[in-house]
């Protein structure tokens, strides 16, 4: 039933961000696309406080054989997809290892502590440096900026899904993505989501070139 192999089995991915960025939706789209292909998917989500500025994390586990714990063991993530830069750093510390790959949206979302001056948001050069140190490969993408150009910042999450497909650690392609969004989204949203997905793929391909 399973059509293509995984870079690892189980493959452990964390999608992280801040409440309201479309984190949960992203994990469900990827999960559904791979579930359609016959993989066993387990997603663990923390979204109780997501609408109030908290960190949000989805643990997505892809396996050809069995249902897994909805929490990935520490240090065992193969991929971190971050909708927000500092959330990537937070997740890497707990779940990363030297072979972890990372796709990061560069648009910061300031916490209240940063807004009121209690904490300092890190400089983007530092974020990049840490990203390089802590991953085997990383793609820093201006997903929100591109999404805003497309008319809605929320599309940043779909751009990252496109980027993820382009990295190719598991068989996620445009057709399976399209199937899922056609099934789960209003008809008038499908085209723009496809455009965003393609943009994400393109951004990773350009990155490589």
Partner 1 sequence: MSIIGKAKEGERHLLMGNDAIARGIIEAGASVAAGYPGTPSSEIIENLAKAAKERNIYVEWSVNEKVAMEVAAAASFAGLRTVAVMKQVGVNVASDFMLHLSETGTRGGMILISCEDPGALSSGNEGESRPFAKLFEVPLLEPGDFQEAKDMTRWAFELSEKVRNLVMIRSVTRLSHASGNVTLGPLPDVVPHARFKFRGDEMDPDEGPVVTFPVAYRHTLMQTKLAQAVALFEDCPFNRYEGPEQPEVLIVTSSACYLYTKEAVDLLDVQDRVGVLKMGTTWPLPPKYMEKHLAKSKIIFTVEEVLPFMEDNVKILAAGLAERIGFKRFHGRGDGTLPAVNELNPDLVAAGLARILEMEYTAADPEYARLSEESAISGAPQRDLAFCAGCPHRASFWSLHNALEIDGREGFVCGDIGCYALGSRPTGFSVSKTGHAMGSGTGVASGFGKLGRFGMTQPVVSVCGDSTFFHAAMPALVNAVHTQSEMTMVVMDNSGTAMTGFQPHPGLTADAAGEEVPALDISDIARAMGANVDVADPFDLDTTQRKLLALLSKGGVNVLILKQACALSPEKKGKKLYNVTLDPAICLGENCGCNKLCTRVFKCPGLKWDSETKTAHIDELTCSGCGVCASICPSGAITKKEAV
Q: Residue 90 and residue 17: Cα distance in Å, rounded?
A: 10
Structure tokens at 115: 């807004």
Q: Does residue 193 bind partner 1 (CB under 8 A)?
A: no
Helix ranges restricted to H, the chain:
23-36, 85-95, 112-115, 124-134, 143-150, 156-167, 174-184, 187-208
Q: Does residue 42 bind partner 1 (CB under 8 A)?
A: yes
Angle, vertex CA 207, rays to CA 204 and CA 209, nearest 5: 115
Q: Are 121 and 86 in contact (CB under 8 A)?
A: yes
Of 21, 33, 37, 25, which Cα lies nearest the Cα of 143?
21
Q: Which residue, 39 or 139, has its beta carbon nearer to partner 1? A: 39
To partner 1, the closest distance from the beta carbon of 70 in angstroms equals 4
Binding residues for partner 1, how many (CB under 8 A)?
64
Which positions from 154 to 183 touch partner 1 by CB under 8 A, shown as an x/- string? Answer: ------------------------------
Q: Does residue 117 bind partner 1 (CB under 8 A)?
A: yes
Binding site for partner 1 (CB under 8 A): 18, 20, 28, 31-32, 35, 40-49, 51-55, 67-76, 86-87, 89-90, 92-98, 109-117, 119-122, 126-127, 130, 133-134, 144, 148, 153, 184
């Amino acid at each position: 039933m399973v059509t293509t192999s995984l870079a690892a089995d189980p493959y452990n991915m964390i999608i992280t961000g801040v409440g309201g960025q479309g984190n949960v939706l992203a994990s469900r789209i990827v999960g559904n696309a791979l579930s359609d292909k016959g993989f066993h998917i387990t997603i663990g989500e923390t979204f109780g406080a997501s609408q109030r500025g908290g960190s949000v994390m989805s643990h997505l586990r892809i396996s050809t054989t069995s249902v897994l714990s909805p929490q990935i063991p520490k240090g065992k993530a193969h991929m971190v997809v971050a909708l927000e830069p500092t959330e990537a750093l937070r997740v890497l510390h707990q779940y990363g290892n030297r072979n972890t790959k990372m796709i990061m949206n560069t648009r910061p979302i300031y916490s209240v502590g940063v807004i009121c001056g209690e904490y300092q948001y890190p400089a983007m050069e530092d974020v990049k440096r840490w990203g390089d140190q802590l991953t085997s490969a990383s793609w820093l993408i201006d997903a929100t900026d591109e999404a805003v150009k497309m008319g809605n910042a929320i599309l940043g999450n779909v751009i990252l899904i496109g980027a993820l497909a382009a990295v190719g650690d598991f068989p996620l392609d445009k057709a399976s993505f399209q199937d899922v969004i056609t099934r789960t989204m209003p008809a008038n949203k499908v085209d723009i989501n496809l455009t965003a997905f393609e943009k994400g793929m393109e951004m990773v391909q350009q990155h490589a070139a």
